[in-house]
Amino acid sequence: MLSEPVLQDGGVGGAGPDVIALHNVSRRYGELVALEGLSLSIAAGEFFSLLGPSGCGKTTTLRLIAGFDRPQAGRILLQGRDLTEAPPHRRPVNLVFQNYALFPHLSVWDNVAFGPRSQRLPEPEIRRRVGESLEVVRLSELARRRPHQLSGGQQQRVALARALVNAPAALLLDEPLAALDPDLRRTMRSELKRIQREVGITFLLVTHDREEALSLSDRLAVMHGGRLEQVGTPRQLYDQPRSAVVATFLGAANLLPAAAGEGLRLLRPERLRLSAAPPGQGERGLRARVRELVFQGATVEVRLCAADDLPLIAIDTSAALPDNLRIGEECWCRWNPADSHLLEAPQS
């Protein structure tokens, strides 16, 4: 197991519940508002994700936490200490870049040893730390290889080991799987979660991939336009999003007109049932015409159009769909009202 996180001045980390805390943080670049009044806290040992589209402020948040940029307002606390103005090397966090940033002329071992050697640690301590880090990422047998001799997933694990070897209080991950092919991304998601559980430190992941955020996170924050939309567990945000922005970013969503003055209700496609028969007692329903059938292996996505050009999506197994379901045919879309969720009206 890797050593306990230690601050640069010798104080032992992990004493307080929040490893990272941002209080009303704002950052502008000229007229561009990158962040506006962001407040957020991340606990020790938590796998936390910042999720949102490009330009929403998530990478800016990571750079501010790492010390590569400074906020124009607000405070950044790491392990309970105000380090808003501290340089990167004085912060108990390490950043893993999207492109890994490995030294091509150094072996895997020497890449991982670079940080401890820069701190002029004793050679026995360096050997111990590097050995432990390579064991955690399961690369001990490849220690003498150069980066170009490794696969993309192996290079990613070297970058993780190099960040973990300094025993940070938190690991900051900037789109770490973006350069990998889909199959390898799925494998590396499992590896990331395993590594985080094994070392027990806080991971803060920045991603635009909702599947990544939902599958990895203990909690996540959805960002939009430099603001925090909502924070919660993956299940909370998927089932009970506050806004249409969160609802649609976390998955396919049917946005149904609610009662007068109530705005919109969310109905996830897997909660919508298609039938030749009208709704039964206690159900709601709409007639709609099938526009498209998308075979997805275990499931079929059915895209429909109801009155007033209202788009609808249903996702179900082929066995559960009506036998005569064809493009251009009409059917009933039925749902239980308890499966829908009222969204907050957008702020003007």
* 146-169 pLDDT per residue, tens: 999 998 889 989 999 999 999 899
> Is residue 345 over pLDDT 90?
no
Select from 264, 259, 308, 319 the least CA-distant residue to 286.
308
In the chain, where are the structural domains located? 18-244, 271-335
> Is residue 185 over pLDDT 80?
yes
- Separation between Cα atoms, residue 156 and residue 164, nearest integer Å: 12
In this prediction, residues 46-75 reach a mean pLDDT of: 95
Residues 6+ apart with CB under 8 A from 213: 49, 51, 205, 207, 220, 234
Q: Are strands 219-224 and 273-275 parallel, antiparallel or unpaired?
A: unpaired
E-strand stretches of 146-270:
170-174, 202-207, 219-224, 227-232, 254-257, 264-267
- pLDDT for res 2: 54
- Each residue's pLDDT tens digit, 221-266: 999 999 999 999 999 999 999 999 999 999 999 999 887 767 899 9
In this prediction, residues 109-126 reach a mean pLDDT of: 92
Domain 271-335 matching CATH 2.40.50.100: the answer reads yes
- pLDDT for res 97: 81
Select from 98, 115, 97 the least CA-distant residue to 106.
115
Domain 18-244 matching CATH 3.30.470.10: the answer reads no
- Separation between Cα atoms, residue 153 and residue 151, nearest integer Å: 5
Select from 246, 244, 253, 255 the least CA-distant residue to 309.
255
